[in-house]
């Protein structure tokens, strides 16, 4: 027994270096204090890694040689690996990003007039299985860690910058609308969005970083205590009967419960003028009728919001069809006449499968994926009290 233990210790791998990429200011302060260093090192390091894009400790010239040496030996800034990069005819860019373990997620950049939006993933796959979303169909593998989430921003910002005066396709906004449900990966997502908004990192204002959720209410109730990021909720239906079919999570947290929670989130924000964004994917003959627009207008009466209509993007195997143009404009007009700001999200990057709901990534080990998927589904249904 004793000799076995000795063998194990002899053959055990060298301690893995700590990855500093996903650590926010508080985590870095704790890290440096443990090394006997002063607090301000945290802000220095954030500037090097995120604002300047320097990941080689040797180049961090405002740190002592001894500290740089120690960092090189015990820590690293480990970026996720870009496997491929596709560019659409309309200027949209999609990166396939490999994560530890070999699976990949997708990150999309969408250039528009006066802004450039980066759409970031938070999980490998998704457990929610919304009936109209390709990500859900490919199952769930695992949560991304904070480094893998902020790493997507690091990669895009290195290529495109953040300043429109320098590059017409700069990253001016970040949305957590890629693969996954951000609120089911709460701590990592919060660490990453707070880095996006940190002065020493990317410095985006809270209006330029948006977290989109299908409505994980208990997590949404905690969100306002730890961040003031902009909020989008994926509604897609004006009543519970229909939303239960489109977004199974609704059976656990129905619409009124979600809207109440969204309003509580707004109440916690210091700036009382802020609104949430309500996302509504328009699907032909499912949720695009005029009476459904009127029902939606009535439903949202007491929720400070603007409404973003997303034409459904088809993907292989889906039986839904995209909304017709006439139905789409009629739907928008009814909302506008009822006094809402309602916009239609233009479909971008469809030729490279980068449009909303088309992100599927790649999971190398399909057997493990489907097995993990089944486990995660069972687990998620158990946790959420959804009947299988
Ligand atoms: N899980 C989060 C974020 C990811 S989805 C959420 O549900 O909000 C980002 C947005 O794209 C959501 O509003 C989602 O409902 C929408 N979407 C998903 N599949 C789509 C598709 N095929 N066509 C159009 N929009 C889609």
Look up residue 48 and give its DSSP letter. Answer: I
| Residue 3 is assigned to a structural domain of this protein | no
Same-domain check for residues 236 and 181:
yes
Distance CA 85, CA 82 (A): 7
**Closest atom of ligand 1 to CA, residue 180:** 1
State the distance from the centre of ligand 1 to the C-alpha of 254, rounded, in angstroms. 18
Q: Taking the C-alpha atoms of 221, 223, 225 and 230 in order, what is their torsion angle to the nearest 10 degrees?
A: -120
Same-domain check for residues 243 and 127:
yes
Same-domain check for residues 63 and 90:
no
Determine the pLDDT at residue 272.
77
DSSP helix/strand/coil, 69:
helix
Look up residue 100 and give its DSSP letter. Answer: T
Exposed e or buried b per residue across 115-148, where buried means at least 16 C-beta atoms within 10 angstroms of its C-beta: ebbbbbbbbbbbbbbbbbbbbbbbbbbbbbbbbb
State the distance from the centre of ligand 1 to the C-alpha of 356, rounded, in angstroms. 6
State the distance from the centre of ligand 1 to the C-alpha of 310, rounded, in angstroms. 9
Which of 25, 42, 76 is the endpoint of a domain? 76
Same-domain check for residues 72 and 204:
no
| Residue 332 is assigned to a structural domain of this protein | yes
Which of 33, 49, 76 is the endpoint of a domain? 76
End-to-end CA distance of the chain: give it in Å, rounded: 46
Of the candidates 218, 144, 229, the residue with the CA atom closest to the CA atom of residue 193? 229
Q: In sequence order, what E strands does 29-152 have?
A: 75-76, 81-87, 93-98, 104-112, 115-119, 123-125, 140-143
| Residue 173 is assigned to a structural domain of this protein | yes
Determine the pLDDT at residue 102.
86
Q: Is the CB of 212 within 6 Å of ligand 1?
A: yes
DSSP strand pairing (276-282 vs 305-311): parallel
Q: Is the CB of 197 within 6 Å of ligand 1?
A: no
- The answer to whether 124 and 179 have CB atoms below 8 angstroms apart is yes
Q: Of 37, 106, 181, 191, which residue is the catalytic one?
A: 106
To test ligand 1's pocket by mutation, which of 279, 283, 322, 353 has the most ligand atoms within 8 angstroms of CB? 279
State the distance from the centre of ligand 1 to the C-alpha of 60, rounded, in angstroms. 40
305 is known as an active-site residue: no
- The answer to whether 173 and 115 have CB atoms below 8 angstroms apart is yes
CB count in 10 Å sphere of residue 209: 25
Q: Is the CB of 309 within 6 Å of ligand 1?
A: no
**Closest atom of ligand 1 to CA, residue 358:** 22
| Residue 127 is assigned to a structural domain of this protein | yes
Same-domain check for residues 232 and 141:
yes
State the distance from the centre of ligand 1 to the C-alpha of 244, rounded, in angstroms. 15
> Residue whose CA is closest, atom 19 of ligand 1?
357
State the distance from the centre of ligand 1 to the C-alpha of 267, rounded, in angstroms. 25
* DSSP, residue by residue, 178-228: SSS-GGGGHHHHHHHHHHHT-TTTT---TTSEEEEES--HHHHHHHHHH--
Distances (CA, A) of 222 to 227, 228, 350, 379: 9, 11, 35, 22
- The answer to whether 201 and 20 have CB atoms below 8 angstroms apart is no
| Residue 154 is assigned to a structural domain of this protein | yes
**Closest atom of ligand 1 to CA, residue 318:** 22
Determine the pLDDT at residue 27.
97
What is the domain extent for residue 62? 16-76
Please tell me the total count of domains within the chain. Answer: 2
Tens digit of each residue's pLDDT, the chain (388 residues): 344 444 444 555 567 899 999 999 999 999 999 999 999 999 999 999 999 999 999 999 999 999 999 999 999 999 999 999 999 999 999 999 998 888 889 999 999 999 999 999 999 999 999 999 988 888 899 999 999 999 999 999 999 999 999 999 999 999 999 999 999 999 999 999 999 999 999 999 999 999 999 999 999 999 999 999 999 999 999 999 999 999 999 999 999 999 999 999 999 998 877 899 999 999 999 999 999 999 999 999 999 999 999 999 988 889 999 999 999 999 999 999 999 999 998 877 777 777 666 666 654 443 344 444 444 444 443 333 333 2
| Residue 11 is assigned to a structural domain of this protein | no
Q: Is the CB of 279 within 6 Å of ligand 1?
A: yes
What is the separation of C-alpha 319 from the centre of its chain, rounded to a whole number of angstroms?
A: 26
Q: Is the CB of 202 within 6 Å of ligand 1?
A: no
> Residue whose CA is closest, atom 24 of ligand 1?
312
What phi, psi does 230 have (nearest 5°)? -70, 150
**H runs (alpha helix) in the chain:** 2-11, 25-34, 41-46, 65-74, 134-137, 146-160, 186-196, 217-226, 240-246, 255-268, 290-299, 325-337, 366-384
Same-domain check for residues 117 and 149:
yes
Determine the pLDDT at residue 32.
97
To test ligand 1's pocket by mutation, which of 143, 177, 189 has the most ligand atoms within 8 angstroms of CB? 177
Determine the pLDDT at residue 374.
45
Distance CA 75, CA 116 (A): 33
Of the candidates 142, 153, 147, the residue with the CA atom closest to the CA atom of residue 179? 142
Same-domain check for residues 365 and 352:
yes
Which domain CATH number covers 138?
A: 3.20.20.70
Distance CA 328, CA 212 (A): 22
356 is known as an active-site residue: yes
């Amino acid at each position: 027994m004793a000799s076995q233990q000795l063998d194990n210790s002899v053959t055990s791998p060298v301690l893995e270096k700590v990855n500093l990429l996903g650590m926010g200011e508080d985590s870095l302060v704790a890290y440096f204090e443990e090394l006997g260093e002063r607090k301000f090192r945290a802000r220095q390091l954030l500037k090097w890694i995120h604002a300047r894009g320097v990941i080689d400790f040797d180049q961090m010239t405002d740190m002592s040689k001894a500290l740089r040496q120690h960092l090189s030996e015990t820590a690293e800034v480990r970026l996720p690996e870009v496997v491929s990069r596709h560019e659409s005819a309309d200027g949209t860019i999609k990166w396939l990003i490999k994560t530890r373990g070999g699976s990949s997620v997708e990150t999309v950049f969408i250039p528009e007039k006066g802004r450039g939006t980066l759409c970031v993933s938070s999980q490998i796959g998704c457990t929610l299985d919304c009936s109209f979303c390709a990500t859900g169909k490919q199952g769930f593998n695992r949560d991304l860690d904070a480094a893998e989430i902020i790493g997507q921003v690091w990669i895009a910002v290195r290529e495109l910058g953040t300043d429109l005066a320098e590059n017409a396709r700069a990253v001016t906004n970040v949305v957590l609308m890629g693969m996954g449900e951000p609120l089911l990966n709460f701590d990592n997502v919060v660490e990453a969005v707070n880095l996006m908004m940190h002065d020493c990192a990317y410095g985006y204002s809270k209006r330029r970083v948006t977290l989109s959720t299908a409505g994980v209410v208990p997590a949404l109730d905690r969100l306002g205590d730890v961040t003031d990021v902009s909020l989008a909720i994926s509604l897609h239906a004006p009543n519970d009967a229909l939303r239960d079919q489109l977004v199974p999570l609704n059976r656990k947290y129905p619409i009124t419960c979600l809207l109440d929670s969204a309003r509580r989130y707004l109440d916690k924000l210091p700036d009382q003028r802020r609104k949430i964004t309500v996302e509504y994917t328009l699907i032909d003959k499912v949720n695009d009728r005029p009476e459904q627009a009127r029902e939606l207008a009535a439903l949202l009466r007491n929720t400070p919001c603007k409404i973003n209509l997303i034409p459904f993007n088809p993907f292989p195997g889906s039986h839904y069809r995209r909304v017709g143009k006439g139905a789409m404009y009629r739907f928008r007009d009814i909302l506008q006449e009822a006094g809402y700001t309602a916009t239609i999200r233009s479909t971008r990057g469809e030729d490279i499968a980068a449009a909303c709901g088309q992100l599927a990534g790649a999971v190398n080990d399909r057997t493990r994926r489907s097995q993990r998927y089944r486990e995660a589904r069972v687990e998620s249904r158990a946790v959420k009290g959804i009947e299988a």
